[in-house]
């Protein structure tokens, strides 16, 4: 007759204890892995949304003021007209100054093939970036805007725009404003009067964003230090419009009157 032996109570308790430690270590590793993965996912999602917004504005601003497809029926009137304002800065109600931009440029309609002016805008509103393509939209409008970032996952703590101008003499390329104070050509009285000028525009965009559960309004740190919300993205990018504004002066260019290239000059040459 064979004798059957089993685990003693002491051995059983030791085995259970060791198994518990192994299970605890495994569950701790699992929880840590899941938590780390969620954190990385949240950071990535916040970064992707913020980068998509700022990259869109940077690339799109280069087209501001484009009028290449327009049919000019009256060249003189077109040249002498004061350039239209093709972008504006402002802010939504309750937001920081210059946290909104609206702009326009011309593009071909995909259906008709004819040129049309398209309008776009981005603004900060309650921790969310909103966008519009409605011509009637203004920075402080209550309607016409739609969320461009997910308010349930990403907090946009800062969106700020600043415009820089350089005004040049169209005749020789020198600065029209000798003091180089950054005035727009529209602020220089000689431009379009006694001087033909062209204006170059640059837009600076600053954006700070982080996962919603990493911080709250005002926590953004420009230098990304230890007190910055976890997963913070702080980016500053510049974009220069490819389309300069022309402030044309007939008297400066000789477009009419007794300047070079005029009918008077031709008559003088014939007399000689």
- Within a domain: 254: yes
- Within a domain: 26: no
- Within a domain: 94: yes
Total count of domains within the chain: 1
- Within a domain: 269: no
- Within a domain: 1: no
- Within a domain: 15: no
Rounded Cα gap, residues 161 and 54, in angstroms: 11
- pLDDT given at position 270: 45
- Within a domain: 8: no
Give residue 182's domain range. 41-264
Residue range 136-174, pLDDT digits in tens: 999 999 999 999 999 888 999 999 999 999 999 988 889
Lookup: tokens for 8:
């003693």
- pLDDT given at position 5: 60
Q: pTM of the predicted model, to two decimals?
A: 0.74
Can you give the length of the chain in residues?
A: 272
Distances from the Cα of 148 to the Cαs of 121, 211, 228, 231, in angstroms?
A: 11, 15, 24, 19
Q: What is the dihedral of CA 11, 17, 20, 26, to 10 degrees?
A: -100
Mean pLDDT within 70-95:
78
- Within a domain: 235: yes
Residue 31 pLDDT exceeds 70: no
- pLDDT given at position 120: 94
């Amino acid at each position: 007759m064979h004798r059957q032996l089993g685990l003693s109570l002491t051995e059983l308790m030791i085995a259970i204890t060791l198994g518990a430690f192994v299970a605890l270590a495994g569950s701790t590793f699992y929880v840590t892995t899941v938590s780390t993965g969620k954190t990385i996912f949240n950071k990535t999602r916040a970064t992707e949304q913020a980068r998509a917004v700022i990259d869109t504005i940077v690339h799109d601003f280069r087209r501001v003021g484009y009028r290449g497809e327009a049919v000019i029926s009256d060249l003189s009137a077109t040249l002498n007209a004061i350039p239209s304002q093709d972008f504006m800065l402002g802010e939504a109600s309750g937001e920081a100054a210059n946290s909104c931009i609206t702009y326009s440029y011309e593009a071909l309609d995909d259906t008709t093939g004819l040129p049309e002016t398209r309008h776009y805008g981005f603004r900060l509103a309650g921790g969310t970036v909103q966008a519009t393509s409605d011509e009637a939209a203004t920075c402080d409008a209550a309607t016409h805007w739609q969320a461009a970032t997910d308010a349930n996952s990403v907090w946009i703590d800062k969106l700020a725009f600043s415009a820089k101008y350089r005004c040049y003499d169209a005749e020789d390329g020198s600065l029209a404003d000798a003091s180089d104070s950054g005035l727009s050509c529209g602020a220089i009285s000689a431009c379009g009067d006694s001087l033909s000028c062209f204006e170059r525009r640059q837009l600076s965009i600053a954006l700070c964003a982080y996962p919603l559960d990493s911080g709250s309004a005002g926590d953004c740190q420009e230098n990304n230090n230890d007190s910055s919300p976890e997963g913070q993205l702080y980016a500053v990018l510049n974009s220069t419009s490819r389309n300069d504004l022309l402030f044309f002066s007939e008297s400066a260019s000789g477009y009419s009157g007794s300047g070079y290239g005029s009918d008077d000059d031709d008559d003088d040459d014939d007399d000689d």
